[in-house]
Chain A
Amino acid sequence: MTISEYRNNLLSEINQSAEPLDEETKNLLALAGDKEGIGNLINVINDETTSSEEKISAIDSLNAVSNFSPALRTKMPEMVNALRGQMSADDEAIRYRAFATLTAMKDEVAQERLLSELESGKKEQDKMVPTSMAISMLGTDEKALPGALLREIALNPPDTDSLIEAVRHMPGDPESFDVLKQIMEEDENPLEARAMIPEMINNVDPPAFLSAAREMLQSKGTDHDLAPSLAKGIAGITMPEAKPDVLETKAMVRDLMSSSPESFKTLANEILFEKDESADQ
């Protein structure tokens, strides 16, 4: 099925829906087929004299119909041209919307602009888009973010959200292993970031991960906020050469379970031992 066919099917499905449509949906449906209406909205975005509210409303309306509008398809270059123009808008709401829409389309111009901002060393308040948001937008394209840049941001994040986003999009590769392990081990880092790491790195260097996990469980205990994530990481290891280490780590977890909180016991039992036992049977 081509993109055009998909869009047309979607539009006809909505039109044939048995549910009564509200006024807003009807307007959007009408807009989807209205080339002139779409052209007018693009003109609103380009017009320097229109208010921010009008521009935001125009961008939102175009976004709303972008998946199924055959009329917008013919106006797409004009829309992209207009949105690229709003990447440097004074109003941050317009700017963010322009970047969000363009990066969702993997627009190279928007990607490059965001990336140069991330690499610029500008103060956070001077950036066109906050670091966390920029990473999140660029992260829609798995080839848009260099691992080195993410590692740098993760080690020196301008704020907590940026650290979380940097970890979320960092490749689980050998080059990132040390940075991720360091973030995982530092309790002052947000749990949202640390909790992602065990499953990201468990297969990059299994013995190193198991050793770090054992050390953390022993020193910080199974009531530590990261303990369930470490257990998940241990359960996720599949490399056969790590097997003796895995058995040793599992034995240690079993020992620790007697003094563990109930929640950890249940989880560890479920993901580390029940599976093995049923396999043995």
Chain B
Amino acid sequence: MSTKTTGPVTRPVALDQFTPAGQVAAFIDRVKQGPAGGAGSLLPLLSERHSVYRDRPAGEAVRLRGYAMAAFERTGLPDRALPYVLESLESDFHPYMAAAAARALRGMSRPHPEVGPYLIKAVYNIWEADNPVSFATYHVQWPQKEFSTGLSEIFETLGRFGGTARRILPDLEHLSRTFQDRLSDTARIALLNAIDAIRDDTCELATGCCELPVILQQAGESEDREASGRILGKLAIQDQEGNLQEWGSFFRGKPAILAFFYTRCGNPRKCVQTVFNLTAVRDELESAGLSGKVRVAAITYDSQFDTAEALKSYGTARRFRFDEDTRMFRVPEGFEKVVSAFNLGVNFIGTQVNSHRIELYLLDAKGDLARSFLRIQSDPRQVVEAVAPLLSSTPESESIVKPVSQPSLLAKGKTRNQFQSVSSVVLGFLVAFFPKCPVCWASYMSVLGVAGTGSIPYSPWLLPVIVLLLSTNLYILYRRAARRNGLFPFWLSTLGSLFLLLSIPYLGLPRWLVIPGLGLLLTGSSLQALSFSSFNKLKLFFSEFRYRFFQKVTGKPRGLSFGPRPSD
């Protein structure tokens, strides 16, 4: 036996390509039935690059991965597992994987409205090839008297989401109206049940709209902590024209957008879409006036099969616009170095790919990894927005700078962002402490008198200055709303500004208005200055608090029951 149980969490010790599938499944079963907290030991099994999948036939790899994923229904679904689950829903065509992902979502501590659309995508991915599935045990005794299918598992999860899935109710109703006669009896009944469950659930969890991208980004960062492209400088790569060159000669000097694919990939949501997306990225770069400033490349996982000619014909057929800065590459020898440099999410059976993730990387002008977009197909516009800041580091300035590690590069970017975000806080404080009445002025003068500046007189003409400062502050908050933490900080500061203006002595309104005014103004500015993830953590905290408070007051949970079914 190659696995053992250690303490409360069962750890996958030496699960590798030689471990029989049954033993891997037995390990998963132990975690599933074990004490709480076992989810962490299942996480490594979600990665396609885990050695357990090395040299496994694709079908067996799918079954093992799916079996591990479905187990999160029992163990609870950690945030770090979510990208894998959503990836399966978005781009997997195996009913077993879609069903496993749908089951895993039932392990979320709370349903999230934004995962509904992923479940709908999965419906359309598998609905022409729905199959019976069972997760009760790995080696199922067929035929089963009663069984679920990929589709029925998805619909059941949506049903359990209840009101949280209300956003996708029209999609389900459309499915029911238009395509009901194309579904199996099992799937149709599950669909109708899901529609009823969502309609009947009057509660709707008002979860923030921006949590999911944060969770995905954080999970992606944690997955790719050790990746870096820089060490590949001298590796030989060959482009679609057959030209051989060193890695560094293409991936240094300008920022680059790099995706991985292979021409034999039979999944239209993965490699084909990735290549189409790169063309869209190329178009976006052009619209943004960045043509010639950023390189775009696609590298094959399968250099043995994908010759230069194969790359050219594949790219041409998909309108990939080849030019000096836009190319496809193969790595004739030493692809394992690329796999290791980027921690690529790919595994092989022999020399053939048996599973891979969707992966797109941004490299800065030195060839260092600056950002990665993993598992979910990236929006070309977002990719271009993310690459734009990398243009500021020109190769000339880099030539006099010692090579720096990826964390310090990231830190450089962070410093710039922090400076930008702090500016509105400073402005907020400036407004807050600006003397807005003769009494304030007198107080300041009494303090400043010590320094001999007490003779500056108060002037009502300072009022336009404070109005100007308030307006500038609000303008900045409004402009940054889309890029940072939404309009909430803006409205908060607007309210604060209103209170402050109402408190000026000439209007004759109560002077205490200045206190909530200052509080709101400073809170708004501070919230805007928070990083996207901190802001969302805060939101999540309050949302959770409100949820628990509601539960305590009313004595019933919002939404339908969640978590493992008693019957399982």
Is A141 on the interface with B (CB-CB < 8 A)? yes
- In the bound complex, residues from chain B placing their C-beta under 8 Å from that of A256 are none
State in angstroms the CA–CA spacing of A69 and B55 once bound together: 37
Contact with A along B33-66 (1 / 0, CB 8 A): 0000000000000000000000111111011000
Known: A146-B55, A147-B349. Contact between A74 and B181, CB under 8 A? yes
State in angstroms the CA–CA spacing of A106 and B55 once bound together: 18
Q: Which A70-85 residues sit within 8 Å CB-CB of chain B?
A: 70, 73-78, 80-82, 84-85
On whether the beta carbons of B63 and A175 are closer than 8 Å, the reply is: no
B residues whose Cβ falls under 8 Å from a Cβ of A: 21, 55-60, 62-63, 94, 96, 128-132, 140, 142-144, 147, 149, 181-187, 264, 304, 349-352, 354
Partner of B183 from the list A74, A80, A143 (CB cut-off 8 Å) is A74
On whether the beta carbons of B142 and A4 are closer than 8 Å, the reply is: no
Closest residue of chain A to B130 (Cβ to Cβ) is: A77
On whether the beta carbons of B350 and A147 are closer than 8 Å, the reply is: yes
Is A3 on the interface with B (CB-CB < 8 A)? yes
- In the bound complex, residues from chain B placing their C-beta under 8 Å from that of A138 are 57
Which of A17-25, A107-115, A212-220 lies at the interface?
A: A107-115
State in angstroms the CA–CA spacing of A254 and B186 once bound together: 69
A129 → chain B closest CB, angstroms: 16
- In the bound complex, residues from chain B placing their C-beta under 8 Å from that of A76 are 129-131, 184
On whether the beta carbons of B142 and A106 are closer than 8 Å, the reply is: no
Q: Which A34-83 residues sit within 8 Å CB-CB of chain B?
A: 46, 70, 73-78, 80-82
On whether the beta carbons of A142 and B352 are closer than 8 Å, the reply is: yes
State in angstroms the CA–CA spacing of A142 and B186 once bound together: 31
- In the bound complex, residues from chain A placing their C-beta under 8 Å from that of B354 are 143
On whether the beta carbons of B147 and A111 are closer than 8 Å, the reply is: no
Interface size class of A (residues with CB under 8 A): 35 or more
Known: A84-B143, A107-B131. Contact between A143 and B349, CB under 8 A? yes
Contact with B along A114-137 (1 / 0, CB 8 A): 011000000000000000000000
Partner of A173 from the list B58, B185, B304 (CB cut-off 8 Å) is B304
Pick 29 A–B contacts, CB within 8 A, sort by A: A2-B128, A3-B128, A74-B182, A74-B185, A76-B130, A78-B184, A81-B132, A81-B142, A82-B143, A87-B142, A107-B131, A108-B62, A108-B94, A109-B63, A109-B142, A111-B59, A112-B59, A115-B57, A116-B21, A141-B58, A141-B59, A143-B57, A143-B349, A144-B57, A146-B349, A146-B350, A148-B55, A171-B350, A173-B350
A residues whose Cβ falls under 8 Å from a Cβ of B: 2-4, 46, 70, 73-78, 80-82, 84-85, 87, 105-109, 111-112, 115-116, 138, 141-148, 171, 173-175
State in angstroms the CA–CA spacing of A147 and B63 once bound together: 20
State in angstroms the CA–CA spacing of A175 and B143 once bound together: 39
On whether the beta carbons of B349 and A81 are closer than 8 Å, the reply is: no
- In the bound complex, residues from chain A placing their C-beta under 8 Å from that of B96 are 108
In the A-B complex, list the 3 residue pairs whose CB atoms are closest, starting with the nearest: A85-B143, A84-B142, A147-B350
On whether the beta carbons of A77 and B147 are closer than 8 Å, the reply is: yes
State in angstroms the CA–CA spacing of A272 and B129 once bound together: 48
Closest residue of chain B to A42 (Cβ to Cβ) is: B143
- In the bound complex, residues from chain B placing their C-beta under 8 Å from that of A106 are 59
On whether the beta carbons of B186 and A77 are closer than 8 Å, the reply is: yes
B186 → chain A closest CB, angstroms: 6
On whether the beta carbons of A80 and B59 are closer than 8 Å, the reply is: no
State in angstroms the CA–CA spacing of A145 and B186 once bound together: 33
- In the bound complex, residues from chain A placing their C-beta under 8 Å from that of B131 are 76-77, 80, 107
Known: A109-B142, A173-B350. 6 other contacts (CB 8 A): A76-B129, A108-B60, A108-B62, A143-B59, A144-B57, A171-B350
On whether the beta carbons of B350 and A148 are closer than 8 Å, the reply is: yes
State in angstroms the CA–CA spacing of A4 and B130 once bound together: 13
Closest residue of chain A to B97 (Cβ to Cβ) is: A108
State in angstroms the CA–CA spacing of A138 and B147 once bound together: 25
A25 → chain B closest CB, angstroms: 25
- In the bound complex, residues from chain A placing their C-beta under 8 Å from that of B264 are 142
Closest residue of chain B to A45 (Cβ to Cβ) is: B143
State in angstroms the CA–CA spacing of A77 and B186 once bound together: 9
Give the interface centre of B21, B58, B350 by most chain A CB atoms within 10 Å: B350
Closest residue of chain B to A110 (Cβ to Cβ) is: B59
State in angstroms the CA–CA spacing of A78 and B56 once bound together: 28
B48 → chain A closest CB, angstroms: 13
State in angstroms the CA–CA spacing of A281 and B115 once bound together: 66
Partner of A171 from the list B21, B63, B132, B351 (CB cut-off 8 Å) is B351
